[in-house]
Amino acid sequence: MRTCIALIGFFTLACALGAEDKDDTAADCANTAETCNGIDDNCDGAVDENATDMGTWYADDDADGYGDLAETLVECDAPAGFVADATDCNDDDAAINPGAAEAGGNEVDENCDGVIDETCGSNAPVVTITDGTWEPEYDFGGSDKPALVLDLDISDVDGDLFVVTTYLWVEEDGDGSVDTSGDADHDFNPFEFDDDEETCDETENSIRYALEASNYEGAGVLDVGVVVEDGGGHLSEVAVVVIEVE
């Protein structure tokens, strides 16, 4: 333990650390940096004041172990109700913090990642092709063109089917399979089942897609593979239909 003794008259300030005597001047002792060690390093009569290694602590009002960046104290040790973490986005609700699971469908960012309802579960959707046909003259808004027309049923047990993106692979060998290891040959813009894309949808949905397909005229037989991606970024298994092309 370090102690300092001020002597009157012409004597200087003597400081000792443990059993070892150290004859410093008062200026030397006063210029010693104060650190968080429970000792009066600079001999001013106070312990650990303005220590150079103090930590910043963040208020944890909801006691979930995650602190509020906006409310801080700088001390050697954590004050009651303060923690070292500063990542809580709602310090009034213990169910909301970076360690929480995203519930989904409630317009609340439970896990504090800045995205609301980014997932409603972890299961991939299931896609079924209920019909696939070749239409030589399909009405694309006033212009008739050859088309591949697909009717799909898409379902998802965990309820993150509020928006889907659909990818197509097309092969011309008619063997009833497609290779999906590469990029899709075609993709459709994301389709939202609800007005608010943050509302989870766990019902089965039917969609009809029409792909302008003039480049496939005369192909004979096509294998068309379909993969859908739900709002949580989960991909379905591929569904394949064989379509005869005139």
* 194 assigned to some structural domain: yes
Helices (H), 12-81: 26-30
Alpha-carbon span 222 to 44, nearest angstrom: 88
Q: Within 13 A of 75's CA, how many CA atoms are on the CB side?
A: 13
pTM of the model: 0.53
* 115 assigned to some structural domain: no
Q: Are residues 49 and 61 in the same domain?
A: no
pLDDT on residue 199: 57
Alpha-carbon span 242 to 180, nearest angstrom: 16
What's the domain range around 209?
Answer: 126-244
* 92 assigned to some structural domain: yes
Q: Are residues 91 and 141 in the same domain?
A: no
pLDDT tens across 143-178, in order? 999 999 999 999 887 667 778 899 999 999 999 999
Amino acid at 186: H
> For position 130, which CATH number holds?
2.60.40.10
pLDDT tens across 203-235, in order? 778 999 999 999 999 999 999 999 999 887 889
Q: If pLDDT is split at 50, 70 and 90, which confidence band does 12 have?
A: very low
| Domain tally, the chain | 3
* 106 assigned to some structural domain: no
Q: Which among 168, 148, 186, 167 has a CA at the least distance from the CA of 230? A: 167
